[in-house]
Amino acid sequence: MHGLIMESELLISSILRHADANFADREIVSVTVDNPLHRYTYGDCFRRARQLANALDKLGLSRGDRVATLAWNDYRHLEAYYAIGGAGYVCHTVNPRLFPEQIVYIINHAEDKWVFVDLLVLPLIEQIADQLNAVEGIVVMTDDAHMPETSLENVRSYESLIVDESDEYEWPELDERSAMALCYTSGTTGNPKGVLYHHRSQILHAYAAVMPDVMGLSSFDCVLPVVPLFHVNAWGVPYAAVMTGCKLVLPGPKMGDGETLYQLMEGEEVTISLGVPTVWLGLLQYAKDSGKKLNTLQRTVIGGAAVPEMMIRQFRDDHDVDVIQGWGMTEMSPLGTVSTPKAGTEDLDADEMITLKAKAGRSICGVEMRIVNDDGEALPWDGAAYGALQVRGPWVCSDYFKLDGEGGAHTDDGWFETGDVATIDPMGYMAITDRTKDVIKSGGEWISSIDVENTAMGHDAVSEAAVIGVPHPKWSERPLLIIIRANGAELTREEMLGWLEGKIAKWWIPDDVVFVDEIPHTATGKIKKIELRKQFADYDLPD
Ligand code: ADP
């Protein structure tokens, strides 16, 4: 017997309608290439999103057609999110920092029909335009006054596209399982793979994100997503923050700049910000060097890579800011776990609380998780057993775009293989020990590179640390610690090894330490272990 409840599809246009009715005068502040500080309201944003939806309909697109964006976090990109998805097309966010060959592959694989680009990205598109098979036209996200000379055909400015359109638009009543967004994983192995989100998954994910024990968003908040709109829907912020009426601050192309972030946070009274650990290194360093304190920021969601304890401590001690570690994946929309405390953790002292927050966290209602051994048997949640982490839930991908079951990432009983290795403690807090492919196997036992890196990062003279396994005749692999020293700091191999002693298992202590000026990162800010392994493949470890 079915229940007697209205049939109402979960669509992102419903967020827009709700926010328009309740929060029309909330502010959205953006840094853009053509305007250092653009300000307008939700009401303005939605009016323009309706104009854009009208314009898109006239481009001759069909339902489900992909429209790409290569753009930073700003108001036009946000309008595109709502207009493209809301009108029944698929907003394909492409990371402009990828290699041109990867961008060509991704746009062709997705068969994007139109491409919306930031002014800064236009030269890249000019370089690859003749290789883009399905693209019919380009929209540059600026006005006519700022349009540069270009060799491209069928190009127009965003403002000229929407200026004459009506700001009335009837959002279509779509099936909630219609695709509305597409994002490719960075593909550290093989070609990038497309994750195709639907309206339902994004709405459920947004409801989960705003919960008090997740991001705890409300209309009193001011949110600054440093995580890009081109990376997994900026962790759901465009939907979750707008659903609750938060003020939005979008940093445009200035995302990696500690000083700009600091000024935006203070000037706009930001209460919550989100980003990967590398971004916060820059901000914390800027604050330290200039003797400044973050006065309005209350909490920061950090994920995408392990969060070093030192970072959680520095935010707490220097700025009174609470760190919420999050773990997730492109394939998971992305939220899976958050390291917020729960009933039962009241008696933890300050240090124990830091240890808890340094874990990836407990699962959000909607995401089920398990760890399994090599035979696929579930392992206990005892905080010690580690195995391959698998998840399932209504915002976890069921397949990759156009791979038709060939993605090889799902088990026969319907779980998604995350590629991460983890422990789960009796309280349900999960801790990532490694990517499956980054695990260091020494004498048949696993060494957690993340734990060693985090401990090394705890030393004041360390700015960044990476641990990789290098071949060893007796143990098959042994860890090598690669370090960037903090500005002007002195640190020797012996001092570093001494620092690790007693803090990690004796046999986890790296066999050697090398100091470098640079550690390679992926376009989304993760350490490129593959490249480091290549670089140090022939490294001679001392006896
Ligand atoms: P990619 O496209 O590189 O897969 P994702 O953002 O989807 O980009 O990366 C997901 C991966 O990032 C996870 O599987 C995990 O290995 C890593 N990751 C994310 N959050 C954390 C975290 N809090 N701690 C450790 N690793 C994390």
Dump pLDDT digits (tens) for 465-492: 999 999 888 888 899 999 999 988 999 9
Cβ neighbours of residue 12 under 8 Å, at least 6 residues apart? 82, 85, 86, 180, 199, 202, 203, 239
Q: Show the ligand 1 pocket: residues with CB < 6 angstroms.
A: 185-186, 232, 303-306, 325, 327, 329-330, 334, 360, 418-420, 432, 435, 524, 526
Phi, psi torsion values for 417, nearest 5 degrees: -85, 115
Could you tell me which CATH class the domain 366-437 is placed in? Answer: mainly beta
Nearest residue (CA) to ligand 1, atom 4: 185
Tell me, what's the pLDDT at 522? Answer: 80
DSSP state letter for 330: G
Q: Which of 176, 331, 453, 464 is catalytic?
A: 331
H or E segment and range at residue 250:
strand 247-250
Q: Is the pLDDT of residue 216 over 60?
A: yes
Question: Between the CA of residue 220 and those of 8, 37, 223, what are the distances in Å?
Answer: 29, 21, 10
Average pLDDT over every residue of 350-357: 96
Average pLDDT over every residue of 215-242: 97
Query: How many of the other CB atoms lie within 10 Å of CB of 413?
Result: 8
| Residue 288 annotated among the catalytic residues of the structure | no
Amino acid at 125: I
Q: Is the pLDDT of residue 278 over 90?
A: no
Higher-scoring residue by pLDDT: 425, 505:
425
Ligand 1 mutation pick, 97, 278, 327, 389, max ligand atoms within 8 A of CB? 327
Average pLDDT over every residue of 434-441: 83
User: Domain residue spans in the chain?
Assistant: 12-28+36-204+229-237, 366-437, 439-535
Q: Tell me the longest C-alpha to C-alpha distance in the chain.
A: 74
pLDDT digits (tens, 9 = 90+) for 63-88: 999 999 999 999 999 999 999 999 99
Residue 537 sits at the vertex; the CA angle it makes with 535 and 541, to the nearest 5 degrees, is 110
Amino acid at 443: G
**From ligand 1's centre to the CA of 2, what distance in Å?**
39
Residue 155 sits at the vertex; the CA angle it makes with 153 and 156, to the nearest 5 degrees, is 155
Query: How many of the other CB atoms lie within 10 Å of CB of 177?
Result: 12
User: Nearest-CA neighbor of 224 among 183, 262, 259, 281?
Assistant: 262
User: Nearest-CA neighbor of 65 among 87, 46, 81?
Assistant: 87
Instruction: List the CATH code of the domain at 12-28+36-204+229-237.
Output: 3.40.50.12780
- Using DSSP's 3-state secondary structure scheme, residue 468 falls into strand
CATH homologous superfamily for the domain 439-535: ANL, C-terminal domain (3.30.300.30)
Tell me, what's the pLDDT at 189? Answer: 58
CA end-to-end span of the chain, whole Å?
71
**Side-chain half-sphere CA neighbours of 417 within 13 A:** 17
246: left (phi over 0), alpha (psi -120 to 50) or beta: beta
Mean pLDDT over the full length of the chain: 94
Whole-prediction pTM: 0.90
